[in-house]
């Protein structure tokens, strides 16, 4: 046929055009030809899908490659930036925090075991007195024992020989010598964050600088012992080079006089997240097993002879760090000037006193739109006559002033660092309104604080960095070492669809909370707010304890609601595209699950005026098997249904405005009588619930999901289910999802209608919808959006979309968006079905071209924060698709 020939030529031109060839596409033909139009949008979707980057899944081959190209060399782990974990957590939130600068607030070094706090203070104070340390090390881990020697001279010189590796750090240079290679760096600025910094091997100052409530083990033989989580002494452990979990308990024995370590013992911790972490690394250990021990023998403190001959590292073949020495400074607060100079436009000055040090980096040419140094979550405090921005629990202070920006860091206590900042004589100003940190809630404006359930006293965290974005409040709590917890809360009565496919339910605060292991996120609903505690350095058991210990006075008990757990002990198994044959039987016979029931689901059409139809999301259940899996009272309601009767979900009943006795006429001629209303939680917020006997006549036939009861460990049950088949599936258990249904990553259609309205439409044969003009007039707006320009969208989505796109534009993450594909409002059905696309409501946004790599990660994070869910995480991934699931503003 001539048409087919024309179409083939047009499609070839579409293909070439998409690849940047200079050819003309016959637009007139494409607009009139559904097949060619579908091909054109298909090419775009395909590109998005192919370029799509699976988050978290990219394997890291760098270590293995380096091992192969330098076969015998072993690199100490402290080459990695020590603060990497903290940066990740802080980067998620950014923001500004406010807290009265001269009040301890919550947390703080004072709670917990009374005798333990002085140990922390003694460690920090002892550094002034430590001029040199020499010791013999005996390290024992799964690789067996290694012996080594450690020699240190304050403030920056160190020699560590351990196993077959030797590390040398000197003034402005460092060098690692392994059996097969040398890594050398010269002209390094003082106390450079990227340099090997095993100074905590000598005196673990960074573990005790800010809030931490170490459990006191006792005193013996002129030694004092404390127990802390590994994340708190991360700097010390990284110096040794054995990987441990951040929540593993560490027994640390310190010299009672000088507070130098004498003995370090790390044991395997507990909790499902720890077990999961160990399994991923092939580590076999039972809770309580010793996974690493370090003994310091023959320790000599301030014995000059013991460190005699400690030489500066040789600099042959060294990489130039760019530091150029300059004139030295004046003493400040009794600390002597140490190395000063420049790195490019940045002036670096430092002071020291024994092991203690302070560094100031400053520049007069800062043009960024966030604080110099990019500090992540900060809080504004009064400092002298001005304002300072404090990050990392007080371990970093930034000042923005007329013509100069500076950042102070150091190993001294936060209070000392603050006094140091005052001494500099720079009066800090508030950052300009366009900067990231500008949304400062005033120190006296504490209206936001009562809405926070703050972590309890003695939890071991500094006063939080608080950021307020509309209904959402974010508080970032820094603890000792690398411990960071981020608390967020927003006004909402239900969790959003889970972003982590491996989410599981746990009990916290007396309710069912959702734990997302890959995100380190614990979420629950309480008092009309959704709460989240998130951390990559604090394990699940401690997060649950923190949640349980949070203040309750802000939440009246009468308003406490709980996440619905409709089928305690039941799992939902969903396979996109339908269940494999015999799957439900296999769950019983091969996977050892208990009762099972298969739920059918499809979209049916309710007859409206003007030849239009209203799409309704219908499920059909078999009363006999269903009642064995769901609460009896509601099952009974289904069992009473006649073939031509139907139940409405609660949201559906509100939308329809009809109750028992009402009548629904379907487009296929079937007339259904409403027999009652059933709790959304039990039927996944379905709009219609039919008895199995009446399903076929109503046009509901697709097997969507199975519900199955299980006993014992939920993870084991899931593993047995997944072993049955290779097809992609999703398994949900109690508390893990707000809607026990298929496709729970997006709002159920009933909830979608609650937010975006319900429409009636003419369903055309080409897949287009002619939607009721009254709905269009009431719901659609044409707005001018950042990056993409003028677009027609649903009004409920506009603020969030404009916010997300504005942030993407401001941060330079996305510079162009394909307008034609953006499809904010696009009235059509999902190809191959009669189910309206979410684009028909204007509830989703397609981002093309889709960025990749770290940029995509950042883009997804932005959209998620603005209330969108990302199709890239779905079982059948649609990576260009961002769908609004948040509460409309």
Partner 1 sequence: MEEPDPGTVRAAAGGDLRAFELLVRTYQAPVWRFLRRFLADDALAEDVTQETFVRVHAKLRSYDGRSRFSSWLFAIARNAGIDAVRSRDRRTRRESGQAPAPVASPEAGTELDAALAALSIDLREALLAVEVLGLSYVEAAALLGVPAGTVKSRVHRARERLLGWLAAGEATGG
For residues 416 and 312, give the distance between their C-alpha atoms in angstroms, rounded to a whole number.
Answer: 30
Q: Which is nearer to partner 1, 70 or 315 (CB)?
A: 70
In the shown chain, the binding pattern of residues 739 to 758 toward partner 1, with x for contact by CB under 8 A and - for none, equals: ---xxxxx------------
- Which residues have CB under 8 Å from 154's CB, separation 6+? 130, 131, 132, 352, 354, 355
For residues 175 and 313, give the distance between their C-alpha atoms in angstroms, rounded to a whole number.
Answer: 6
Q: Which is nearer to partner 1, 80 or 556 (CB)?
A: 80
By CB under 8 A, how many residues form the interface with partner 1? 66
Range in contact with partner 1 (rule: CB under 8 A) among 67-75, 377-385, 424-432, 460-468: 67-75
Q: Which is nearer to partner 1, 267 or 838 (CB)?
A: 838
Write out the two tokens for 505: 């339910």
| Cα–Cα separations (whole angstroms), residue 779 to 147, 785, 792 | 72, 17, 10
Residues numbered 278-337 forming contacts with partner 1, rule: CB under 8 A: 319
Q: Does 590 bind partner 1 (CB under 8 A)?
A: no
Whether residue 562 contacts residue 549, with contact meaning beta carbons closer than 8 Å, is answered with no
Report in angstroms how near the CB of residue 613 gets to partner 1 at its nearest: 20
Report in angstroms how near the CB of residue 280 gets to partner 1 at its nearest: 14
Of 242, 247, 309, nearest to 281 (Cα)? 242
In the shown chain, the binding pattern of residues 470 to 499 toward partner 1, with x for contact by CB under 8 A and - for none, equals: ---------------------------x--
Is it true that the peptide bond before 847 is cis, omega within 30 degrees of 0? Answer: no
Interior/surface letters 328-354, b for 16+ CB within 10 angstroms, e for the rest: ebeebeebeebbbbbbeebbbbbbbbb
Report in angstroms how near the CB of residue 41 gets to partner 1 at its nearest: 7
Q: Which of 309, 334, 403, 832 binds partner 1 (CB under 8 A)?
A: 832
Q: Which is nearer to partner 1, 419 or 811 (CB)?
A: 811
Q: Does 839 bind partner 1 (CB under 8 A)?
A: yes
- Which residues have CB under 8 Å from 271's CB, separation 6+? 247, 539, 540, 541
In the shown chain, the binding pattern of residues 678 to 717 toward partner 1, with x for contact by CB under 8 A and - for none, equals: ----------------------------------------
Q: Which of 418, 751, 753, 838 binds partner 1 (CB under 8 A)?
A: 838
In the shown chain, the binding pattern of residues 173 to 212 toward partner 1, with x for contact by CB under 8 A and - for none, equals: --------x-x-----------------------------
DSSP letter at 550? S
Of 210, 152, 226, nearest to 410 (Cα)? 210
Return the number of other C-beta atoms located less than 10 Å from residue 627's C-beta. Answer: 20
| Cα–Cα separations (whole angstroms), residue 373 to 231, 369, 515 | 24, 11, 33
Q: Which is nearer to partner 1, 38 or 332 (CB)?
A: 38
Q: Which is nearer to partner 1, 494 or 880 (CB)?
A: 880
For residues 241 and 291, give the distance between their C-alpha atoms in angstroms, rounded to a whole number.
Answer: 12
Q: Does 45 bind partner 1 (CB under 8 A)?
A: yes
Report in angstroms how near the CB of residue 61 gets to partner 1 at its nearest: 4
In the shown chain, the binding pattern of residues 352 to 391 toward partner 1, with x for contact by CB under 8 A and - for none, equals: ----------------------------------------
Range in contact with partner 1 (rule: CB under 8 A) among 53-61, 139-147, 643-651, 799-807: 53-61
Q: Does 51 bind partner 1 (CB under 8 A)?
A: yes
Listed in order, strand segments (DSSP E) in 283-395 are 290-301, 319-320, 323-325, 336-337, 341-343, 346-353, 356-363, 378-383, 386-391
Q: Which of 535, 785, 878, 884 binds partner 1 (CB under 8 A)?
A: 878
785 φ/ψ sector (left φ>0, alpha ψ -120 to 50, else beta): beta
| Cα–Cα separations (whole angstroms), residue 736 to 127, 496, 679, 861, 884 | 48, 10, 18, 21, 20
Report in angstroms how near the CB of residue 646 gets to partner 1 at its nearest: 22
Q: Which is nearer to partner 1, 105 or 501 (CB)?
A: 501
Range in contact with partner 1 (rule: CB under 8 A) among 88-96, 122-130, 383-391, 738-746: 738-746
Q: Which is nearer to partner 1, 520 or 601 (CB)?
A: 601
- Which residues have CB under 8 Å from 68's CB, separation 6+? none
Q: Does 450 bind partner 1 (CB under 8 A)?
A: no
| Cα–Cα separations (whole angstroms), residue 22 to 45, 212, 531 | 21, 64, 53
DSSP per-residue codes, 468-483:
EETTEEEEEEEBSTT-
For residues 238 and 322, give the distance between their C-alpha atoms in angstroms, rounded to a whole number.
Answer: 26
Q: Which is nearer to partner 1, 343 or 607 (CB)?
A: 343
Q: Could you tell me whether strands 844-846 and 881-884 are parallel, antiparallel, or unpaired per DSSP bridges?
A: antiparallel
Write out the two tokens for 217: 């083990």
- Give the CA angle between residues 860, 863, 864 to the nearest 5°: 85
Q: Which is nearer to partner 1, 49 or 696 (CB)?
A: 49
Range in contact with partner 1 (rule: CB under 8 A) among 55-63, 96-104, 161-169, 807-815: 55-63
Q: Which is nearer to partner 1, 8 or 308 (CB)?
A: 8
Residues that bind partner 1 (CB under 8 A): 11-12, 15-16, 19-21, 38-39, 41-43, 45-51, 53, 58-62, 64-66, 68-70, 181, 183, 319, 497, 574, 576-577, 726-728, 730, 742-746, 830-832, 835, 837-839, 846, 852-853, 871, 874-878, 880-881, 883
């Amino acid at each position: 046929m001539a048409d087919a020939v024309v179409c083939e030529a047009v499609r070839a031109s579409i293909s070439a055009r998409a690849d940047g060839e200079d050819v003309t596409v016959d637009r007139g033909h494409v607009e009139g030809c559904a097949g060619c139009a579908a091909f054109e949008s298909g090419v775009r979707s395909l590109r998005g899908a192919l370029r799509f980057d699976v988050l978290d899944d990219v394997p890291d081959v760098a270590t293995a490659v380096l091992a192969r190209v330098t076969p015998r060399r072993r690199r100490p782990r402290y080459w990695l930036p020590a603060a990497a974990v903290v940066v990740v957590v802080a980067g998620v939130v950014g923001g500004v925090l406010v807290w009265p600068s001269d009040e301890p607030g919550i947390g703080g070094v004072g709670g917990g075991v009374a005798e333990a706090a002085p140990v922390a203070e003694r460690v920090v104070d002892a550094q002034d007195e430590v001029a040199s340390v020499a010791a013999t090390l005996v390290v024992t881990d799964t690789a067996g024992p290694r012996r080594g020697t450690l020699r240190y001279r304050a403030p920056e010189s160190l020699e560590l020989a351990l196993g077959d590796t030797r590390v040398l750090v000197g003034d402005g240079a460092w060098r690692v010598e392994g059996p097969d290679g040398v890594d050398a760096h010269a002209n390094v600025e003082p106390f450079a964050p990227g340099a090997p910094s095993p100074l905590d091997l000598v005196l673990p100052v960074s573990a005790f600088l800010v809030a931490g409530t170490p459990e006191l083990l006792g005193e013996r033989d002129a030694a004092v012992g404390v127990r802390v989580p590994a994340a708190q002494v991360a700097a010390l452990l990284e110096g040794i080079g054995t990987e441990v979990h951040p929540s593993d308990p560490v027994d640390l024995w310190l010299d009672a006089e000088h507070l130098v370590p004498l003995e370090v013992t790390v044991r395997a911790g507990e909790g499902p997240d720890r077990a999961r972490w160990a399994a991923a690394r092939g580590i076999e250990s039972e809770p309580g097993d010793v996974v690493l021990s370090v003994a310091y023998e023959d320790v000599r403190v301030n014995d000059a002879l013991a460190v005699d001959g400690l030489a500066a590292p040789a600099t042959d073949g060294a990489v130039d760090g760019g530091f150029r020495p300059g004139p030295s400074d004046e003493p400040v607060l009794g600390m002597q000037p140490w190395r000063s100079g420049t790195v490019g436009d940045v002036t670096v000055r430092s002071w020291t006193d024994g092991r203690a040090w302070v560094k100031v980096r400053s520049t007069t040419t800062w043009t960024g739109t966030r604080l110099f140094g990019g500090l992540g979550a900060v809080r504004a405090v009064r400092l002298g006559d001005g304002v300072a921005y404090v990050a990392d629990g007080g371990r970093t202070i930034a000042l923005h002033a007329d013509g100069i920006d500076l950042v102070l860091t150091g190993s001294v206590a936060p209070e000392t660092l603050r006094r140091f900042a005052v001494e500099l004589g720079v009066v800090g100003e508030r950052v300009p309104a366009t900067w990231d940190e500008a949304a400062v809630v005033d120190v006296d404006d504490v209206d936001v604080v009562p809405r926070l359930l703050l972590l309890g006293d003695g939890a071991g965290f500094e006063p939080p960095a608080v950021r307020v974005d509309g209904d959402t409040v974010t508080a970032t709590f820094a603890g000792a070492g690398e411990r960071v917890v981020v608390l967020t809360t927003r006004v909402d009565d239900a969790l959003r669809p889970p972003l982590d496919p491996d989410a599981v339910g746990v009990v916290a605060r007396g309710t069912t909370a959702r734990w997302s292991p890959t995100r380190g996120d614990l979420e629950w609903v309480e008092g009309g707010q959704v709460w989240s505690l998130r951390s990559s350095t604090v394990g699940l058991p401690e997060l649950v304890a923190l949640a349980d210990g949070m203040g309750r006075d802000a939440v009246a008990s009468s308003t406490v609601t709980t996440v619905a757990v409709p089928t305690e002990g039941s799992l939902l198994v969903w396979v996109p595209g339908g269940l494999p044959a015999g799957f439900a039987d296999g769950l019983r016979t091969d996977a050892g699950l208990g009762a099972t029931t298969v739920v059918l689901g499809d979209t049916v059409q309710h007859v409206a005026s003007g030849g239009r139809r209203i799409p309704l999301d219908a499920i059909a259940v078999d009363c006999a098997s269903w009642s064995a899996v769901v609460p009896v009272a509601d099952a009974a309601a289904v069992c009473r249904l006649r073939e031509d009767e139907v139940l409405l979900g609660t949201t559906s009943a509100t939308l329809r405005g009809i109750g028992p006795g009402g009548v629904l006429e379907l487009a296929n001629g079937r007339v259904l009588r409403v027999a009652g209303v059933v709790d959304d939680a039990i039927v996944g917020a379905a709009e219609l619930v039919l008895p199995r006997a009446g399903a076929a006549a109503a046009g509901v036939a697709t097997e969507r999901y199975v519900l199955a009861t299980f006993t014992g460990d939920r993870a084991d049950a899931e593993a047995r289910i997944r072993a049955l088949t290779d097809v992609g599936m999703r398994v949900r258990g109690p508390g893990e999802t707000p809607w026990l249904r298929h496709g729970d990553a997006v709002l159920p259609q009933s909830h979608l209608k609650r937010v975006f309205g319900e429409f009636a439409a003419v369903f055309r044969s080409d897949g287009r919808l002619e939607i009721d003009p009254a709905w269009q007039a009431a719901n659609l707006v044409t707005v001018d959006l950042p990056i993409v320009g003028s677009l027609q969208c649903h009004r409920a989505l506009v603020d969030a979309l404009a916010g997300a796109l504005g942030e993407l534009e401001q941060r330079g993450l996305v510079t162009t968006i394909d307008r034609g594909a953006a499809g904010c409002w696009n009235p059509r059905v999902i190809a191959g079905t009669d189910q309206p696309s979410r684009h028909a409501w204007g509830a989703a946004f397609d981002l093309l071209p889709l960025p990749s790599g770290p940029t995509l990660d950042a883009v997804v994070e932005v959209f998620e924060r603005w209330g969108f869910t990302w199709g890239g995480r779905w079982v059948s991934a649609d990576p260009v698709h961002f769908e609004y699931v948040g509460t409309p503003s």
